[in-house]
Structures are given as C-alpha cells and as structure tokens.
Amino acid sequence: MEQQSPPSSSTTTTTTTTSTTPFLPQHHPWWRRHFHMKNSLSSELSGAVGDLGTFIPIVLTLTLVSHLDLSTTLIFTALYNITTGLLFHIPMPVQPMKSIAAVAVSETPHLTTSQIATAGASTAAVLFLLGATGLMSTLYRLLPLPVVRGIQLSQGLSFAFSAIKYIRYNQDFVASKATAPRAWLGLDGLVVALSSLLFLVIFTGSGDHYDRNESDDDQPRRRNSKRLRILGSIPAALIVFLLGLVLCFIRDPSIFGDIKFGPSKIGFLSITWNDWKVGFLKGAVPQIPLSVLNSVIAVCKLSGDLFPDRELSAAKVSVSVGVMNLVGCWFGAMPVCHGAGGLAGQYRFGARSGWSVVYLGIGKLVIGLVFGNSFVRILNQFPIGILGVLLLFAGIELAMASRDMNSKEESFVMLVCAAVSLTGSSAALGFVCGILLFLLLKLRKMEYSGSAPGFSKFKFESTVDAETSSIP
C-alpha cells in the first residue's frame, strides 16, 4: 500500500483559513437586517391586535356620534400602519388622538367631522415643526426620567381603570358612560370576559417571551421552558379577538343582511374658518401636550426599554405624527398618533418587529375596501368585555415600565406626577407638577457658600445621585 505523504504547508494554511472563517462577522444584506421578523409569525399576528382595545371603542364612538367615515379612517390608518412598520422596524402603533375624541363627543353640540379634522391638523402642524426644528429632540434629552415614568404610569393605570369598567359594566359609548352592571351570562357577559382573561394569562403569562435559542442547565428546567415556549407560540390575543368577531354575528344575525361591499367615496372635506377656530381651541389645545408627552416622549423612551438596539428618534416620531395627519385629516380620516399604550400592548402579546403592524395594516385595508362603512354594524356588536381584557393587558404593560425607579427620590417624583395626571385628568398638569417637584428637590441639594462680602454662589452637592439626574 502506498504511503500518503504529509500535507504540504500550503494545504495546512488553506485548512486553517477555512476553519476560522465561520468565526468572522456575518454581514447580512440591509433588507434582511431591518425587515426580518424578530419572533414567530403567530406571535407577530397576536401582537398585531394588542392595541385594538383602545382603537375600536374610540373609532366606534366617533363614527356613531360625529359621523366619522369609518371606511376612510380604516384605509388611511392601514397605510399609516404599513408605512410606520417598515420605517421604524418595531411594532409602532397608530392610535386615535384621545383628547380630541373625548372633546368631540362631550361637547354640546358635538364637534363635526371638519372640526375634528382641523383639530388633528393643528396638532400635527405643531408636532411637525417641533420635530423638524430639533426642539423635540432637545426636550427629549432634557426631560427628567422620573417625570417620563410618571406620565407612563398614569397612562397605563388610566387604561387599566377604563378596562376594568369595560369588563364590569355595560357601556354606552355615545353617552360616554356606563349603563348597568354586566350580567354574568350572555355573549357579552362576565363569564366570557373572565374566560378570555384567564386564557390570556395562561398562554401569555406575565408577558415574558422565551428565546428559542436559550439553553437551560437541568432537565426539569428544560422541560418547563419547552412547555412555556409552546404556550407562548399560540396567538392568544388573536384568538380572543377572532372570538369576539364570531360573537358579533351570533349576537345579531341581521348583520349579514346589512353588509354592503365596497369602500365609501374619498374626497376633500369642506372646511370653514369657524371650523379651524373651534377645532384648534377646543380640540388641539388640550391634545398638543398629551401628544408631545405620550405620543412622542413616552413612546420613544418605551421603545428604548423594550428594544435597546432600536430606540426611536424623538424628531422622527414627531415628524411622523405630523405627516400622517397633515395628509389624512384633509380627507376626513380620524386624527391619530403613536401611543405608548399601543406599543406596550402589542409588545405584551408577542409583537417584536414592524411586521406585526404591517399585518394589522393589511387587515384594516382589506376591511376598509371590502366592507366599507357597513363594518360599523359589526363593531357595534363586538363584546365590550373582550375589548376591556385586551386594554387591561396593554395598560398594565405600560405601567410596568416605571419599575426601574429605584431611589425614593425618583419614586416620589414619579408617583406625584402620576397622581396629579390621574386626578386632574391631564397629563400636562402632571408633567408641570413633576418638573417643579424635580427642580425643588434639586434646589434642596444645593449648598450655599460665600467667599467674600457681597459675593455668594450656590453649588450642587458632589453626592447628587447620578441616576436621579439622568435623562432619557
């Protein structure tokens, strides 16, 4: 048998080079880095419906009270969802401007569609200017973190309180009030709502999603982790929402006969000078501070908490809100923004990339084009208890973002800001109180020193807590 000769030096070099190649950094195409799904398809689909607990009640109310064109709103918000999902690469929500919606249905007489549109366009113009000039980014850098957490906590608890009311009481959205305690039985009874709540708790837990690549040390832990991964792969929120749609038709079978196919005609609104005056004074003035704080500052900070490698730019988010409404409001679409509560809700149910809101946008687009305004008949029969359950999880997830306030001083500022926001029903009032309290606590830590008669100065103590003085 012929004896093989030892490998040459060139062969050895080649072998060594080949063995080290897998350890070199892998450079993926830009489209793969930005547009691949971060989670399973079922989780992204489940997360897509995470903010509908807020979206549906407000859209339904404005449609019934202020004669909002549902088809136009669905089509435009669908385009917003698809665009923002591809632009920001996270489950960026598109939610109604809540303050404008509240004013529209509470004023006597109710605001017209044109007045709602001017309120949204006025708010959008302010946010667009703040973002384009860089002032929003400056505000984002300077705003103390405890104040931001206070706004997030107040919004999260506000959602949770509203959710409990939806679950416990029948709701009259037109009159904006609860009518009577919800019955235990029935297709919109407490049993249905509580069953949906338990189902979501079992299949989504506390909101932690396990990495499919993680390894566990021992066999029992591996079995438990595998079981939780299986449960987490089920699109629980999507199943609950689809159950609600099925119950719509069971509650009122006449819906089948009322459905008319095709979208409504889209055209420019007729807007007068009086519409601009009423819309700005009654709608935009209370909405602007809420949009700045919750739709830009809070959502950017929450994006950094949930996606540390994809924290949003305050300027881009502010410009995004401006562009959406400066386009859609002229056609009668509902004024919208990017809410921190919607981001928290979508993340809570499994959304980890922009594809979740792209899927949501596709769903809205199909509904708006196929069913048009007749879809309001379906929404009018949607079980409010199920909407309350979805909203409850979104609110709790947003409120839990404030759990990183470790010092008593930070917690004090955060809780006062949240308390004032809740009791005063104004995020702007809570923000002002939080800023004043934060500055007073800083002033308390200043020490006085005099080096010569007639000359004095204040200086901060050197032991100021670095975390307390941090900014988002």
Q: What is the DSSP letter of 284?
A: I
Find all residues with CB under 8 Å of 328, minimum gap 6, and list them: 76, 77, 80, 334, 336
Mean pLDDT by 10 residues, the chain (472 residues): 47 43 46 58 92 94 93 97 96 95 88 96 97 96 94 94 95 86 95 96 76 52 68 87 96 92 92 95 94 94 93 96 96 95 94 95 96 94 95 94 91 95 85 95 73 47 42 42
Q: How far is CA 358 from CA 30, 86, 126, 273, 276, in A?
A: 19, 7, 27, 37, 33
First to last CA, the chain: 74
Model pLDDT, residue 291: 94
pLDDT tens across 376-389, in order? 999 999 999 999 99
Model pLDDT, residue 385: 96
- Amino acid identity, residue 52? L
Model pLDDT, residue 20: 43
Model pLDDT, residue 211: 46
Model pLDDT, residue 72: 96
Model pLDDT, residue 175: 79
Instruction: For residues 422 and 134, give the distance between their C-alpha atoms in angstroms, rounded to a whole number.
Output: 30
Per DSSP, the three-state class of 450 is strand
